[in-house]
Structure 1
Amino acid sequence: MSVTEEEVPADRVVETLEVVLRAPPFQRSPKLARFLRFVVEEELAGRGATIKAYTIATQALGRSPDFDPSLDPSVRVEAGRLRRALDEAYAQNAEALEVRITVPVGGYRPRFGPLEAVPAPPEGASVPEPGDAPLPVTESPRAVVAGFSPRGQAAVIALLAGILLVLCIDLGLTLSSRLAGPPAIPRDVAVRGR
């Protein structure tokens, strides 16, 4: 359950959700509307702990079961769009809403609170996305590189190794053809050409 859910009855959250979903940002983007409805309904049903990038992608955004959130940042990107759409919806409909629904940066579980209890970010403030946070410093020499998961790192290394191999083969063929000199012309072809 979300931290602030105790303070707001579920029926008020549902009423607010319906008003928010009628706001222009969500009318323009059915994908964002599905995303928001999914996370709010899952949280209210007591399944907030299962709200992860994979479940959002496969159950709300229509992605296939082979979706890999470590290789595809689309859920994180949509979450950023969702946060901006929520801010816009609240700016446009503040008088009609009693409950603020937020999706805090760093996760996808929604929070619910009285409208005045959860202030909107200041105008023009940039809010980092979950993947934009600085990587923690670890003592392991095998620390995460450039935000890639170990599986992503292996894929990048394999790709670079393949490119290096192709370049080495190409260089080797070029050098061997130059060292061999011009191709030999068979004697009978040389005689016929005269």
Structure 2
Amino acid sequence: MTQFLPPNLLALFAPRDPIPYLPPLEKLPHEKHHNQPYSGIAPYIREFEDPRDAPPPTRAETREERMERKRREKIERRQQEVESELKLWDPHNDPNAQGDAFKTLFVARVNYDTTESKLRREFEVYGPIKRIYMVYNKRSGKPRGYAFIEYEHERDMHCEYPQTPVVAKAVVGRAEGQVVAKV
């Protein structure tokens, strides 16, 4: 097929000149002759340090030891933070704790679309509500999914609310975490 190509294209397919031969620079390893035979390191041992004069080796910390040390330091640091915060905490002057804890109902697993008016409508059946506090995320302003409902009377909080179908999906309990005995 190439015989039908014009001469200018045939010149593109012409073979190159052969690579010129150069003699090797060194002999091959099996052709080399060594004047001195191989020897060991015995003559150089006297140049080494004496092990008795060398300083004791320093022991490096392993990865597991470093992780354990950091974990211990973190626990100690957190305990110190908790102790210092505990000294500063005064339950009687807490600005977030309002109302009577014995009259407060805790409602969890509240749908994020639920508003305070919906909660008031569902729970006002059991008695007059003094205050509803839904907890919101401080950064985004979205609800956190739980609320506190404070009733006017403590007996209203102990009604038969768990049997209602609307409240069956929510977790309801007394908010006794706010109860503080004054000494």
Query: Larger radius of gyration, structure 1 or 2?
Result: 2
Structure with the bigger percentage of helix: 1
Shorter-chain TM-score above 0.5: no
TM-score (norm 1): 0.19
Q: Judging by fraction of residues, say which structure has more strand.
A: 2
TM-score, length basis structure 2: 0.20
